[in-house]
Amino acid sequence: MSIRKLVAALVAASMAATALAELPAASAPSDFVLRGTTAAGDDPAKFRFTFGPAIAWSAPIRWSYNHANAPAVLAGSPSTVVAALQQAVEKWTSICGVSFRYQGLTPATTNGLAGPDRVNVVGWDSVDRFLPGAAGVTIAFYQPDEAGGGELVDADIVLDNTGRINGPSALDVVAVHELGHVLGLDHSEQSGAVMSGPPDSAYNGRSGLAIDDVRGCRCLYGPNPANVAGYSCSLPKSLDLGRVAVGTQSVPQAFTVFNDGTSGLAIATVGITAGDVRRNGGSCIPGTVVPPGGKCDVVLTATPASPGARDAVVSMATSDGDYAVPVRLTGVAGGPSTIDAVEYYNAGLDHYFISWVGNEIAILDAGVRSHGWARTGEVIPTYPSGQAGASPLCRYYIPPDKGNSHFYGRGSVECERTGQANPSFVLEDPAFMSMVLPTAGVCPSGTRNVYRVFSDRADANHRYTTSLAIRDVMVARGWLAEGDGPDRVVMCAPA
């Protein structure tokens, strides 16, 4: 499933099969809005990914139906509508471990954006006030927790009553898709799924669940107890091998295939589409059966023969169907290999974290094993291995009693002093990546300044950035600038 942060101002709607052409796929917005709520009411301060166990229902979803304002074609038969909705519900409950409880007809209305009332209602209205030409919209609310996760607590589906749903078949198309949003699923980037939709794919009017829909629901709620299955929830959306010097081999990057299911996940084949990218080890080999709760890994390297960007795909045929992992790299001539360290933020912890390691990035993006983390959009170019003129950066893990965080020390002197002063810190890697060190706070030509700020709290955390503006915003928030020279530069990243 596509995993994205939802935009606060976006309220949109799904298209029935008869209305698909009314909005181009490239410009059609999502048909789902997920809003935060607290005991005091609506809190739109932070939105969450809709895919991942951090945001799901923790109890059966109790829902009611309001037949008022139903379109003429369905107005005389509320039982027909309820039967169609129940049929859509059963498509989801038959494949994953979620349950719905129908509470009957209700006079309660779909409260829309007025705020959560914790009464889940399916009802009729003109959806044009949300998105002209649409056939349905889902509006859901979640209750955040202190760790940056939370649970869904309220969801309403508004069905359009202006003629776009012209019978049970069209209702089925809209209901199955909108119920996926109620469950917590965002749009899939795969075009053949019920949950297909903008911005990465187009609505397709499908009402039968595809493998991507099944995996998404199972990764939120597990499989239906009657249907054991092996499947994986944390494969990377893409694996970046970086900018690799022509004729040299990239630093190995791995991704892990976790079996999150309840039976064995058999690996039949592992293939790669591009000759520049090669499998360079790992335990995911044909014939492997990963037990429930187990894992195997695929290790990749790239040796580009010429400059330029190229894409590859790692495809795995498994007992759960085919999995595909896109791989990206760029061959560069006349320079060293570099890669981007991606920055993440956890609002519940108010912590920042950076990593260039594909496996860590995949797990954080998926949100299945590490809840509450989201990309900030910032990256820091780095050397993934030693380079002439560069200094290794160590990575320490700061234990929970001192921060539950990570620290990247610049050079052997700072790393050794950090370990000596903090014997409880765990040295994860003495050379996690490499950077050039500044001279009196000045970075050499061909590099850019990297700034470091410290939270100055008991739960110690550092943020690293190449943006002076971001550094200054953090200082204004009370964080302490660290580094050398008048600009407090801590290290120098490749430009």
Residue reference for tokens 């039968």? 208
The C-alpha R_g of the chain, in whole angstroms, comes to 25
- Decide: 80 and 74 in contact? Cβ < 8 Å: yes
Report residue 398: phi and psi, to 5°.
-95, 120
Distance spanning both ends of the chain, measured CA to CA: 34
- Decide: 405 and 460 in contact? Cβ < 8 Å: yes
**pLDDT tens for the chain, residues 1 to 495:** 322 222 221 222 222 222 222 222 333 455 766 555 543 333 332 233 344 456 889 999 999 999 999 999 999 999 999 999 999 999 999 999 999 999 999 999 987 667 788 999 999 999 887 777 889 999 888 887 766 677 899 999 999 999 999 999 999 999 999 999 999 988 888 888 999 888 788 888 999 999 999 998 998 899 999 989 999 988 888 899 999 999 999 999 999 999 999 999 999 999 999 889 999 999 999 999 999 999 999 999 999 999 999 999 999 999 999 999 999 999 999 889 999 999 999 888 899 999 999 999 988 888 777 777 889 999 999 999 888 889 999 999 999 999 899 999 998 899 999 999 999 999 999 999 999 999 999 999 999 999 999 999 999 999 999 999 999 999 999 999 999 999 999 999 998
Q: Is the pTM for the entire model greater than 0.85?
A: no
Q: Are strands 462-465 and 447-454 parallel, antiparallel or unpaired?
A: antiparallel
Closest CA to 410 of 353, 376, 451, 381: 451
Q: Which fold has domain 17-221?
A: Collagenase (Catalytic Domain) (3.40.390)
Q: Which amino acid is at 160?
A: D
Chain CA centroid to CA 48, Å: 9
Q: Where in the chain is the domain with CATH 3.40.390.10?
A: 17-221
